[in-house]
Chain A
Amino acid sequence: MSVKKQSESAITLVCCKCGEEFVKASVTASYLGAEFPIELWKCHGCGVVYIPEELAVGKMLKVEQALEDK
């Protein structure tokens, strides 16, 4: 993935719809009725959330599988 983290508060990603940069924000991840607060990058304008590849195929996948076995 080519999206780079520049500092704790900035990544190299711009929302095409709003022209805004992505900022760190607390969002809610949900699956099969379970919800968790998580800090991720979010467009300051429209609120779309960026989910990095390593999160999607790593920890997120593990949590999904664990919830499916509950």
Chain B
Amino acid sequence: MPPIRKVGIKQQRVAVVGGGLSGVTAALELSAKGYEVTLYEAGDTLLSRMRAMGEDLLPQAVIDADLEPLEKLGVQVKLQTLISFNGGDCGIAELIEKFDAVYMGCGQPFDAEWQNLLAKDNLNRIQIDPLTYATSHARVFGGGTLRYSPAPYSPITSIQEGRYAAVSVDRYLQGASLLAGRENEGLCTSKLYTDISGYEPTPEVKASSADGHYSREEAQQEAVRCFPCSCMECVKTCEYLKEYGSYPKRYVREIYNNLCIVMGTRNLNKMINSCSLCGLCEVRCPEHVSMAEICLDARQTMVETQKMPVSAHEFALRDMAFSASDSFAMARHQPGHSSSAALFFPGCQLSASSPEHVQSCYEFLCASEPGGIGLVLGCCGAPALWAGRKDLFDASMQQLEATWTRMGKPRIITACSSCFRTLKEAKPEIQVQSLWPHLNHEELLRGKGNDNSTPYAIHDPCSTRGVEEVEGGARDLLRGMGVLPLELNPRGETTCCGYGGLACFVNPELTARTIQRRAAESTADFITYCAMCRDSFARQGKRALHVLDLIFPEGNDDAAARKDPGYSGRQENRARLKKTMLERLWKEGQTAVKKATSVHIPEEIVALMERRMILREDVCTTIEHAELTGEKMMIPGNGHLLACYRPACVTYWVEYAPANDTFDVFNVYSHRMQVR
């Protein structure tokens, strides 16, 4: 028997009549709930029917051990005490008088003298509700063989009746509904899905003895046939759901509790912010429960109630602000056109990862599509959406909508799956198209790709999971180049690379495991059509190509080994793309940009900055401030300088030394706390 713990102490008293299985069970349950319980048994001992089974079948010592909790929980046991119906100290009427509730588990047949107290049914038994175990008297409940005889005796049924009756007694004493939420008590049809495909069918073990009872060995063999019924379809496919050791039903409750905490620590904040919002759980779940929806909703609530940890998404939102700023954002009609038949919106991540591809795609679209193709650089606002920042997201959408309106409300062709989905969902009035079908031109694809001697494995981005225009469009391009990739999963069941939902900023360790798990699914080089997915794999050392690497190859470089540019490199690439496009295509020189301080940062410090989410710009600004104000420290041992600077909410520390026209950087760290 599992250990029973008493939860609190209540003042109310309960009498349990009958020391059989249902009575003992009810006594244990009610005592554990904190009630003062007295258990009456007419005979010399409890569980006499169990004890009569014989020492070889059920030893007395086992029964005694199972009864020990009664004493530990403080149940008063009164043996040789027959509850009569004729009054006196042990009359039923007196029990009802003295106790707050009475459970009848005594197995007594109906006695005519009870009629004054309790109604009977048409079998002449005490009338007991089969769901609540209530009798006609509000304080009296009944169960066990008293209720279910003349059906054959069943120890399991008796225990069940004692347990469920205890629930009713508790509810009655608490003033709660006896009926609410009890539909699934006892035998019911379960909605639980269990994948049994991994289990070989095995025949039932038959008892060899004449009485039909199992031997010890037979019972064990039969028990081995039982496997744990559980669904876990979503947990099996998701590193995030696995990480927290449970499953969505419990997570939903825990997240709700986390949001309700007024004073105290919200331990689940990081968990809520670690979901990539990819929605694979919803696809896999037989009931289509979406943890993405739950986590996103929780994030929005956290923002609204000002309970979102300030550091969680700040770095990502700063990056988004950069993409929406003049450093990157721009909109132009195609050179020589005063209107646009469509706008090319490559998205901020392709521009950050491979600006050359944006340029190539744009030039191809301009040459192949009539009516003028405008170019819009900027951000769709997905990071704000994922951070639960509805205010920022709405502002971002307004900015984009204003640009779209100014450009004549044409179609938008995007190269980014997240932009595709975000725009489609937030602005259904905008006609959004995937870039891939627009590149499906025989002359463009001819002679590209590989010979399939070392096939690629295709990874679909999660934002457009199951969207044929995007998934199919990308495959058509590959087919057009004669590339036949291996499928990593059934179509429509792709996983997230870890960038989604900004999980990588909150829980980089979990994100790394997510990517490694995906990467391990095939030794082949991956091919994808999302810049962020490609770079996420590259960051974890998985060789990965973007489909544009095949269509617009850059020199003879091993494109699958191309490194992730890093956070600073991503911003620099975006700014460079805008500058190049304006100069080359629109012959516009940008207004003079302040020359950044020249710094030399060794590779290991760059990697450290990535982990600590510190940008090259932060390092430069800190050094500039120190050199301008003289606010710096000297480390006499090596002659290095140490500077700190707090431009906004983070204090950056840089250890550096001047070297000719540049500064050598030796260490970088930051903190948010202020010290005075």
Which positions in A face B, CB cutoff 8 Å?
Answer: 1-4, 12-17, 22, 27-32, 38, 40, 43, 46, 48-51, 53, 56-57, 60-61, 63-66, 68-70
Contact = CB atoms under 8 A, between A and B. Distances in A.
A13 B643 CA distance: 12
B676 A13 contact: no
Interface residues of B, number: 38
A61 B671 contact: yes
Contacts of A68: 269, 309-312
Nearest to B264: A70
Interface string B650-676: 010101000000000011011111111
Contact of A69 (B309, B631, B635, B655): B309
A33 B493 CA distance: 46
Interface of B: 264-267, 269-270, 309-312, 612, 629-638, 640-642, 644, 651, 653, 655, 666-667, 669-676
B383 to A, nearest CB: 19
A70 B263 CA distance: 7
A64 B673 contact: yes
Q: Give the top 8 A-B pairs by smallest Cβ distance, nearest first.
A: A68-B309, A56-B671, A31-B673, A14-B634, A16-B632, A53-B669, A49-B675, A29-B675
B640 A2 contact: yes
Contact of A27 (B631, B672, B675): B675
Query: At the interface, is chain B mostly helix, strand, loop or mixed?
Result: mixed
Nearest to A57: B669
Given A16-B641, A51-B675, A64-B671, 4 more contacts: A31-B673, A51-B653, A57-B612, A66-B265
Nearest to A18: B630
A19 B388 CA distance: 48
B637 A12 contact: yes
A17 B630 contact: yes
A56 B633 contact: no
Contact of B309 (A1, A27, A40, A65): A65
A37 to B, nearest CB: 11
Contacts of A16: 630-634, 641
29 contacts: A1-B655, A3-B642, A13-B636, A16-B630, A16-B631, A16-B632, A17-B631, A27-B676, A29-B675, A30-B674, A31-B673, A31-B674, A38-B675, A48-B633, A48-B644, A49-B676, A50-B642, A51-B653, A53-B667, A56-B653, A56-B669, A57-B612, A57-B669, A61-B671, A63-B673, A64-B673, A66-B265, A69-B266, A70-B264
A2 B675 contact: no
Contact of A30 (B269, B633, B666, B676): B676
Given A1-B667, A2-B666, A68-B309, A14 B673 contact: no
Contacts of B673: 29-31, 60, 63-64
